[in-house]
Amino acid sequence: MRSLGQVMPSRIEDNPLAAPETPWLPVVRDRGGLRMQFARDTSSALRERLEQIFRSDDLSGFDVLVDARGSCVAVAEVAGEVIAIKRYTHSRALFLRTFARASRARREAAALASIHAAGNPVRPLAWASVRRAGCVSRCYVVTTYFSDSVDLRCLRHGSPDEARALIEELQECLPARIAQLHDAGIHVGTLRGKNVLYRRSDHGLALIDVPRAKRKSVLSLRERLVDLGTLFVELRYTFDDSDVQRFLDAYLGAAQTLSARHRSEITVAKVCQVADRIGHRTRFTSWIKHTRQRARHTRLGQWVTGRRYERSD
């Protein structure tokens, strides 16, 4: 095996991540098509343990939080640090779609490095991928763990009084946090409720699972509306119109780089319209969503994706 300081050239993804905020060690290539890259501030003991995990594909000893189709999220204390490791697997058509493309884990690690520099508490520690015939069969991204937190979907599961108390807390911190990211030129792209973690003990906020996040010099109005609309796909289950207006007023008050013309365009009606489109609530997007769902449940769809979907009664 080559040491962490040795790099072999590759046309696909052997360049270190470009984000200057989180320096990375050179990419390591191992037998079996395994590629690994670690942040420089990742301890040597943690790097050694992660190398073993990447080679053996063994997450035993981890507490599995999510085990869904094609992805698994687990948490454990390794080398004195609590980490979260996410494992993606690809098969059949999904496997072929990764041909000559950077793995999802690599893109997610790069995106997290960018938004970590803008104050996001979750820090990427490493990524790895196993590539066969130019395609990614499995990949991993390792980050610090944001403990004692819940995602925004919890608003739907508590009592009305609990939801109202949580809404009031979010109104105090979430709009300013989104404005801070946008002022830093960061377009998240996947600002869904399940990707926003909130910790009530210290009112901390963290973003996870953001492989499409990118940094730009100036965000366009469309990019701001997409982020706000994507977030309100979830929030509109529990936010009424007055809550939405309060949220946008707080966002506009905290946004420092937003032009006067764009301020007048960010309204409740516009944001809700974007949320309806993203959340498949319009007639056309709803038809597309149901067509895709029916296609996935056919024998051909299950053969192409390599996954079985249970039919709901």
Rounded to the nearest integer, the mean pLDDT of the chain is 84
pLDDT, position 7:
35
Residue range 152-174: mean pLDDT, rounded: 92
Tell me the β-bridge partners of 84. 75, 143
pLDDT, position 68:
77
- Domains in the chain with CATH codes: 28-144 (3.30.200.20), 150-278 (1.10.510.10)
Residue range 172-187: mean pLDDT, rounded: 94
pTM of structure: 0.81
pLDDT at 281 over 90: no
pLDDT, position 298:
72
Q: What is the pLDDT of residues 89-119, one digit of tens each?
A: 987 777 788 888 899 999 999 999 989 988 8
Rounded Cα gap, residues 29 and 35, in angstroms: 5
pLDDT, position 5:
36
Rounded Cα gap, residues 313 and 310, in angstroms: 9
Q: Helix %, strand %, coil % for the chain, to 5?
A: 45, 20, 35
What letter does residue 188 receive in the DSSP assignment? Answer: -
pLDDT at 226 over 60: yes
Burial pattern 52-64, b for ≥16 Cβ within 10 A else e, equals: ebbbeeebeebee
The mean-pLDDT minimum among 120-124, 162-166, 294-298 falls in 294-298
- Kindly report the backbone phi and psi dihedral angles of residue 159, in degrees, each rounded to the nearest multiple of 5, phi listed first: -70, 160
pLDDT, position 91:
76
- Kindly report the backbone phi and psi dihedral angles of residue 46, in degrees, each rounded to the nearest multiple of 5, phi listed first: -70, -40
SS3 67: strand
Q: What is the pLDDT of residues 1-30, one digit of tens each?
A: 333 333 333 333 433 334 445 589 999 999
Rounded Cα gap, residues 190 and 229, in angstroms: 10
Percent of the chain with pLDDT over 70: 82
Token reading at 282? 């319009």
Return the ∠ at Cα 15 (arms to 81 and 135), rounded to 5°.
90
pLDDT, position 88:
93
Provide the sign of the torsion angle of the four alpha carbons 81, 43, 13, 220, taken in this order. Answer: positive
Rounded Cα gap, residues 115 and 121, in angstroms: 9
| DSSP letter for each residue of 135-166 | EEEEEEEEEE---S-EEGGGGGTS-HHHHHHH
| DSSP letter for each residue of 99-133 | TTS--HHHHHHHHHHHHHTTT-S--EEEEEEEEET
pLDDT at 300 over 50: yes
Q: What is the pLDDT of residues 54-68, one digit of tens each?
A: 999 988 888 888 887
